[in-house]
Amino acid sequence: MTSTLPALQDWVDQVAELTQPDEIHWCDGSEAEYQRLIRKMCESGDLLPLNEKDYPDCYLHRSDPSDVARVEHLTFICTENEDDAGPNNHWMSPPAAHEKIDALFKGAMQGRTMYVIPYCMGPIDSPYARLGVEITDSAYVVANMKIMTRTGKQALKRIEKEGTFVKGLHSIGDLDPERRFIMHFPEELSIKSIGSGYGGNALLGKKCHALRIASWQARSEGWLAEHMLIVGIESPQGETHYLACAFPSACGKTNLAMLIPPESHTGWKIWTLGDDIAWLHLDDEGVLRAINPEAGYFGVVPGTNAKTNQNAFEMIKSDTIFTNVATTADNEPWWEDKQVGSPATDWQGREYDSGNGPAAHPNSRFTVAAKKNPSYSQLAEAPEGVPISALVFGGRRKEVAPLVYQARDWCHGVLVGASVASETTAANIGEVGVVRRDPMAMKPFCGYNFADYWGHWLSFADKSDKLPRIFHVNWFRQDKDGKFLWPGFGENLRVLRWIIERCENRVSCVESPIGLLPNPQDIDVNGLDVAQETMQTLLSIDAEQWQEEMISVGEYLQGFGDRLPDGLRQEHQRIMDAMKQAQRID
């Protein structure tokens, strides 16, 4: 196959010239092609079939033990001007980056097949969708991209019609961490990634395109590309509200997107539109609408069980690619907190020995089509997306942040988003459990200077008076003995209900210097074993802790120097003053 679009054909030819593959395969995105690749990988040992009876069409891939997560320290934004990448990114000049990485791509595909994957991020007929082509030498990447995006003929047709697409070049190289780089060239709409076959480093449609490059595109085109799930909440009366929620990696976005209403909430329904990424556009009426650019889930497996996420638990019983989980003696996939079965072989293929650490890697993943989710919303296919009532930020914080609060207005909401902090998780290589600032949960994913990004966010206030309300939640608050104060999971619906009531102006709130808090009695705890005292704690704000928090936020923001938008600086000052004022009154 070839393409009628010279820009595409020329690029494919140049890449082949550089990387010297044995053959070139243009992916048509068909089921037959997927099955052929699966068979080939089973023959080569790249995939291991799992128990066919209980896990039909499920496979296990074991990645190189040095290649198990995103590598933020090896991820670069390569813009002409270093300040455009900002202090939030690692930067390299485009010529230096191309030279460095092209040297590694030289001959990298010798003896391998080069796959060309045309893909569409978003519903194929959506004006909000964007196109890309990934070239890779990994059949595992092709199979995952088939599940995660809309690949193949229709995408190619649209690329040839529009002529614009993101170029993503990927090779697993020799998997040596010393020769591993994930480079982004937003000004050229291109990505080059080598040395990793794992997740966000290799499935270029996801973090590299749909967040880093798209955030750049979004700023120049007037929309937002965000690390947000999209969920619909339908009341027993049939009223549905859509929320887009940003949480740092591995903080429960997938669980929240597929929440199962607790027994106490008969008649409530949850509709999943996306679990990781939202592209947000203002429509002609000024309503913010969201599409999910992805078509599948690449979710963290450990912790998934019938109680925490029944939908995911059921959905990954067939047609799923597992990466780095353990297996049981009868070849079923196994992971920590699965709550059934026990591990015989760990994620590295060794006989299980608890002395070697967890059986499944903490960042082990499932790849599965979104349509398999029992709570999948057909509106995920709607070209116009869904209208968003509320934007919700959150982090994993043992203390400081209350269960929920509302930002006073859009500008305050941008500050709330910019102040997000969370304890780090295994989704990135690095220390786990330390609090770091993760503005809008985009620290690893914003493809340009955060200061400019906040400016872009602030500019929406001038474009529409129908913007969503903005909230902050924290499901992870603990008491002094380390016990979670809030039950989380399905019970989070109770908090989402308060958020919706606020959007509908149906419930009052308590004003505080940090924002608008619920009256404790307005969060329905009927049937829950949560004492009123605990609710008070969950909704309390400790003046001293908040003083420290806001000083630390201020210092963080100052790190962006003159580029920091005045609007954000003033908003921060406003909160500092309000806190001082409140202390004087106390």
Residues catalogued as catalytic: 251
Using the rule CB under 6 A, is 70 a contact of ligand OXD? yes
Using the rule CB under 6 A, is 370 a contact of ligand OXD? no
| Residue 70 binding target from Mn ion, ligand OXD, none, CB below 5 to 8 Å by type | ligand OXD
Out of 173, 200, 413, 565, the only residue in the binding site for ligand OXD (CB under 6 A) is 200
Closest CA to 208 of 270, 149, 138: 149
| Residue 216 binding target from Mn ion, ligand OXD, none, CB below 5 to 8 Å by type | none
Using the rule CB under 6 A, is 442 a contact of ligand OXD? no
Using the rule CB under 6 A, is 443 a contact of ligand OXD? no
Using the rule CB under 6 A, is 539 a contact of ligand OXD? no
Closest distance between ligand OXD and the C-beta of residue 437, in Å?
16
Helix (H) or strand (E) holding 410: helix 410-418
Closest CA to 347 of 68, 144, 142, 145: 68
Residue 506's identity, in one-letter code, is R
Question: For residue 4, how many other CB atoms are within 10 A of its CB?
Answer: 9
Cβ pair 497, 491 in contact under 8 A: no
CA 104 to chain centre: 29
Closest distance between ligand OXD and the C-beta of residue 144, in Å?
12
Using the rule CB under 5 A, is 84 a contact of Mn ion? no
Rounded distance, CA 476 to CA 483, Å? 9
What torsion do the CA atoms of 16, 22, 136, 319 make, to the nearest 10 degrees?
Answer: 150
Restricting to residues 259-278, which ones interact with Mn ion according to CB under 5 A? 276
| Residue 298 binding target from Mn ion, ligand OXD, none, CB below 5 to 8 Å by type | ligand OXD
Please identify the residue of the shown chain whose CB is closest to the bound Mn ion. 276
Using the rule CB under 6 A, is 158 a contact of ligand OXD? no
Residue 129's identity, in one-letter code, is A
Which tokens belong to 583?
A: 């202390």
Of 134 and 276, the one with the shorter C-beta distance to Mn ion is 276
Out of 118, 123, 152, 199, the only residue in the binding site for ligand OXD (CB under 6 A) is 199
Contacts of 489 (CB under 8 A, 6+ apart): 255, 259, 307, 308, 309
Contacts of 409 (CB under 8 A, 6+ apart): 461
Closest distance between ligand OXD and the C-beta of residue 432, in Å?
13
Using the rule CB under 6 A, is 438 a contact of ligand OXD? no
Using the rule CB under 5 A, is 438 a contact of Mn ion? no
Using the rule CB under 6 A, is 367 a contact of ligand OXD? no
Which tokens belong to 8?
A: 């595409």
Closest distance between ligand OXD and the C-beta of residue 365, in Å?
7
Closest distance between ligand OXD and the C-beta of residue 227, in Å?
7
Using the rule CB under 6 A, is 298 a contact of ligand OXD? yes
Cβ pair 190, 166 in contact under 8 A: yes
Please give the full DSSP string across 543-586, using - where no structure is assigned: HHHHHHHHHHHHHHHHTTGGGS-HHHHHHHHHHHHHHHHHHHH-
Of 117 and 427, the one with the shorter C-beta distance to ligand OXD is 427
Q: Which residues contact ligand OXD (rule: CB under 6 A)?
A: 70, 199-200, 249, 276, 298, 427
